[in-house]
Chain A
Amino acid sequence: MPKIESVDHLTEYRRKLKASRDPKQPVVLVCGGPGCLPLGSENVAAAFKTAMAEKGLEGKVLLKTCGCQGLCANGVKVIIRPEEIAYQKVTPQDVPEIVEQTLVGGATVDRLVYHDPASGTACAHKGEVPFYKGQDPIVLRKLDLIDPESLDDYLAVGGYRTLRKVLFSMTPEQVIDQVERSGLRGRGGGGFPTGRKWRLARQAESAVRFIICNGDEGDPGAFMDRAVMEGDPHAIIEGMLVGAYAIGARQGYIYVRHEYPLAVKRLRLAIEQARDFGFLGDNILRSKFSFDLKISQGSGAFVCGEETALMASIEGFIGEPSPRPPYPAQAGLFGLPTVINNVETWANVPEIINMGPEWYAAKGTENSKGTKVFSLVGAVNNTGLVEVPMGTTLRQIIGDLGGGIKDGHPFKAVQTGGPSGGCIPEQFLDLPVDYDSLQQVGSIMGSGGMIVMDNTSCMVDVARYFIGFLYAESCGKCTPCREGLKQLKYLYEEITSGRGEMEHLKLMEDLCEAMSSASLCGLGQSAVNPVRSTLKYFRHEYEAHIKEKKCPALVCRPLLKYTIDPNTCTGCLACVRECPVGAISGIKKEAQEIDQELCIKCGLCYETCQFDAVKRE
């Protein structure tokens, strides 16, 4: 790959690249996203390589592993372009048939395409699948088009066009102005107007400024940032280049959590490519602008997603937040003005400048412009990543895109915003989703996790889970958060063990009040959301735990009882082997029995039994 020395050189390189690429070139794109990778997408790609070689298709059909194709529930996903045939649930065994039928024969393999559950109609092309129909992808647009390890692929779809535009035809003020006019707000959860943040940093008196990409995606249930870092790393780099130019930064950091090894690898490679190519370094494209990037890896601390804690971590200290103001834009990393935005925010920037702020601002609602990526998971049929205009209703996202609730169970709640968010009940399903509306119902946008729950989820247990999570992750610096979470955790344990009392609920509300008003950072302030929202909308479930000592959803362990139905039990002893405390006994090939004194109610027998002989009540 050559070093690009000037704008003309870039134009020439892109022209040659485009000329060398036939738009009708057949390409097989195997999804290597966060959903398909654990399902064995590497084996599917390997099977394609072998099968294509056998048919002499090497060189005629290209094979690529791309980023997330969205519909994770039906992985491993494969898209065949230019026809855009979308195959799903592909295993290595299916591959020879696809190669034979589609690549050689030009026909579709009907059994491997999406079928509309209601009508049974086959949707062979991506555009026909309901999951993709209601979407308007900006950040996710390139994920199923390019090989994330190829800079040429990114350039071929118009990559680094925006860098060139800002460096040679825009002043930093104009860039900030456009970002401000686009209405883009921070996608990490805070929702602070991005342009205003940039302006504050530019106006701060200092010779040195920094920019940071927050890739410490810690919210359980959210994986859009992982998908973008792994699937389109150059978009983040380009967005950061634009931001650095706008605020006058020479050095940037991408902070990635170490639980995402592939994201680290891809970003590292992309940075090297950009450096070799001349998009990072001194006098980029012979302009006066110089900028470089470093990767900083997290070490496993949720609180580091909080911006001041994250910066402390980059500086080599423990991730403890510090009080704001001063805000990072005034005094951030090493005490210098710093702009910190999350992955999705940065990935929006190139497209906003490229297409213009009006184009972006035309999408969304009055105070929340553009689109938002959600990770739609839990009890829906079509789990995966969706990107929709702000203002799309929960019903559209869960019903139309998500295909409704799995196994015909009734909907109970949708949890948004990670541990800082709340649980939203059915009565608000027609709520248009944006920053403000979610807050009004006691939740938050957060980074975009959207976890759908049906009647098999216990809302007391869900709140207990989040409190337990935050208790473990609280840095311990301020008292309201440290002690408040400890007490809340204790109260939840009491309630879910059948020792709860009605006064506990009042105590919980008081604790929430103290924590939300007195905690140092967002972690403690918003930790009350799961508690308050469940207390408000699902109080009857708390009351069932306290008054009747029952968990209606059959989740809270201490309130359950496991027995074995002697008529169905075959005496296969699978449960006996699985029981960690040796509570199950009986003669082989005869019905077994659970010793209730010994039973710890872990439910392993219930999950292991192939004959539904273990009963839970």
Chain B
Amino acid sequence: MDAERLEGILSKYEGESTDLIPVLQDIQDNYNYLPKDELKVVAQRLNVPLTQIYSVATFYTMFSLVPKGEHQLKVCLGTTCHLKGGQRLVDSIASRLGCDVGYTTKDGTFSLETVGCLGSCAQAPVMMIDDKYYARVTVDKVPKILKLYQK
């Protein structure tokens, strides 16, 4: 375990139990998942039982207990995206990447997720890779977009 890396995150907080979710968010962003050993330290420092951390980590969809891919690919399945073929988009991406929703590609490049709504409904179907939005993504646009991230 890289104690210094974790310390860099924990030192930003006052160590209150209410800091739990922000701390986990920082670890998730920094490590791309929530490593077990780090969580044990968090439990001690914030004085929160490990069981509560486990409950929080498994309740909220942004947390993952296994390492995620380099890029987070989120396909919107909000109402408008659903009506405009969002599910077809998911199917196409999943088939191209050879990876189901909720999983990471074998080469570790992408983690594929669906989300409730990304809030760009006028441009449905929408998807997001990391912090970048892609508008009106028809199936034929998929290979070109994926290529931008593939090594």
Contact = CB atoms under 8 A, between A and B. Distances in A.
Contacts of B74: 259
A496 B140 CA distance: 27
A211 to B, nearest CB: 17
Given A259-B118, A301-B60, A451 B91 contact: no
Given A35-B123, A39-B123, A221-B117, A451 B80 contact: yes
Contacts of A219: 117
A67 interface: no
Chain B interface size, as a band, is: 35 or more
B66 interface: no
A222 B55 CA distance: 29
B124 A377 contact: yes
B108 interface: no
A445 B85 CA distance: 26
A38 B82 CA distance: 18
A127 interface: no
A34 to B, nearest CB: 5
B3 to A, nearest CB: 23
Interface in A397-415: 415
Contacts, number: 154
Nearest to A73: B122
Contacts of A315: 18
Contacts of A457: 83
A603 B60 contact: no
Contacts of B63: 299
B19 A465 contact: no
A252 to B, nearest CB: 15
Nearest to A261: B131
Interface in A265-319: 296-302, 313-319
A38 B119 contact: no
Contacts of A222: 117, 119, 121
Given A296-B22, A299-B21, A603-B88, A580 B95 contact: yes
Contact of A604 (B17, B19, B52, B91): B91
Contact of B88 (A39, A297, A602): A602
B50 to A, nearest CB: 14
A72 B136 CA distance: 12
30 contacts: A35-B120, A37-B133, A38-B120, A39-B135, A72-B120, A220-B77, A220-B82, A221-B79, A223-B121, A259-B118, A261-B131, A297-B25, A299-B61, A316-B48, A316-B56, A318-B56, A319-B59, A375-B122, A377-B80, A378-B79, A378-B80, A449-B121, A451-B79, A451-B80, A465-B79, A580-B95, A602-B88, A604-B95, A607-B88, A607-B140
Interface of A: 34-35, 37-39, 72-73, 75, 217-223, 226, 258-261, 296-302, 313-319, 375, 377-379, 383-384, 415, 418, 449, 451, 453, 457, 462, 465-466, 469, 473, 475, 578, 580, 602-604, 607-608
Interface of B: 17-22, 24-25, 48, 52, 55-56, 59-63, 74, 77-83, 85, 88, 91-92, 94-95, 115-124, 126, 131, 133-135, 138-140
